[in-house]
Chains A and B, each alone.
Chain A
């Protein structure tokens, strides 16, 4: 019986020791990289907001809506930046949409995406994103594949309809948020 216990105890103990050592190493690495990651994320987010709402010189997080940032120029509120995420082809995508006081979309930025290079990733191109720079449509944007997009319509990317629709859905969600915020103001 004694031998039996030893047979089970020793391997288990070694396994536990290895687990503890590895976890300790990971905790150290995590602590070391945590701040860098946080700082980088914050800097990236700020840069993205700037692209979404170019006229602003400072951003302030909205008190009631965590994903909404108010853009200010010289202390005066000039618009909002909304962060929304939707599911796309390769995973979920995060989109920042900037809308100014007049209800015009000033910019759409893809903050994170895991889509295929050459296909869905082309949604990052300016030529695609610039399509959204227009007055906010009443019923939100619609994706068309014909290549002849009218007002309130977006031309889908070749071979990447899912990604085009995902970005559009994210922008439409931002528009819904905008309508809520605008109403309150």
Chain B
């Protein structure tokens, strides 16, 4: 479906959660040094994003809104995410220990990852702007796209950082400052995608 593809591509290219919305910056700056950890973290984030949206959406529309409890959105969503992450950790540890060893260390950090809480709330905004055309399925696709966008940004950036390692950086720019300048350049390149999705898919 054209709309689903548009939502998916938009979340990766024109509304990239890291490079455009500034969500998930802490892991972006911290975990992107090596390709492997970047990929591992991103996959974990994608899974949590989709599951979190899958759970919070029905809670919001099924319980919070009908009972006039919309003001509890923040507290309920973050608790859901925290519980979900805990649950995933337990499941992985018990049933897929190899995966747990690869990804498990990042899971607790995902609870405080703004991108995850962000996506659960931003899909609600999209629904409000487009009640007829945007529903549960679109929200899930959006969350999946957001996670993949996260992955794309992380992988590109880990490549950039590996290159920086070999360069001669001025004293006070060493470490995070030069990393941030590199991030700004990657962000500029993504600006070039503006209009791509609407142009391609109408």
Q: Do chains A and B touch in the complex (CB under 8 A)?
A: yes
Contact A92 B125 (CB under 8 A): yes
Contact B71 A30 (CB under 8 A): yes
CA distance A87 to B127 in the complex (A): 9
Tell me the count of chain B residues lying within 8 A, CB to CB, of chain A.
11
Minimal Cβ-Cβ distance residue in B for A33? B71
Interface 1/0s, chain A 5-27, versus B by CB < 8 A? 00000000000000000110010
CA distance A91 to B126 in the complex (A): 7
Contact B130 A26 (CB under 8 A): no
Interface 1/0s, chain A 146-167, versus B by CB < 8 A? 0000000000000001100000
B194 surroundings in chain A (CB, below 8 A): 161-162
Within residues 67 to 117 of chain A, which ones have a CB less than 8 A from any CB in chain B? 85-87, 91-93
The majority secondary structure among interface residues of chain B is: helix
Contact B71 A85 (CB under 8 A): no
A30 surroundings in chain B (CB, below 8 A): 71
CA distance A30 to B72 in the complex (A): 10
A86 surroundings in chain B (CB, below 8 A): 129-130
Q: Which of B71, B75, B130 contacts A87, CB < 8 Å?
A: B130
Contact B126 A87 (CB under 8 A): yes
CA distance A23 to B75 in the complex (A): 9
CA distance A23 to B72 in the complex (A): 8
A161 surroundings in chain B (CB, below 8 A): 194-195
CA distance A14 to B195 in the complex (A): 52
B200 surroundings in chain A (CB, below 8 A): none
CA distance A87 to B123 in the complex (A): 11
Contact A85 B129 (CB under 8 A): yes
Contact A91 B125 (CB under 8 A): yes
A-B pairs with beta carbons under 8 Å apart, 21 shown: A22-B75, A23-B72, A23-B75, A26-B71, A26-B72, A26-B75, A30-B71, A85-B129, A86-B129, A86-B130, A87-B126, A87-B129, A87-B130, A91-B122, A91-B125, A92-B126, A92-B128, A92-B129, A92-B130, A161-B194, A161-B195
- Give A contacts to B, CB under 8 Å: 22-23, 26, 30, 85-87, 91-93, 161-162
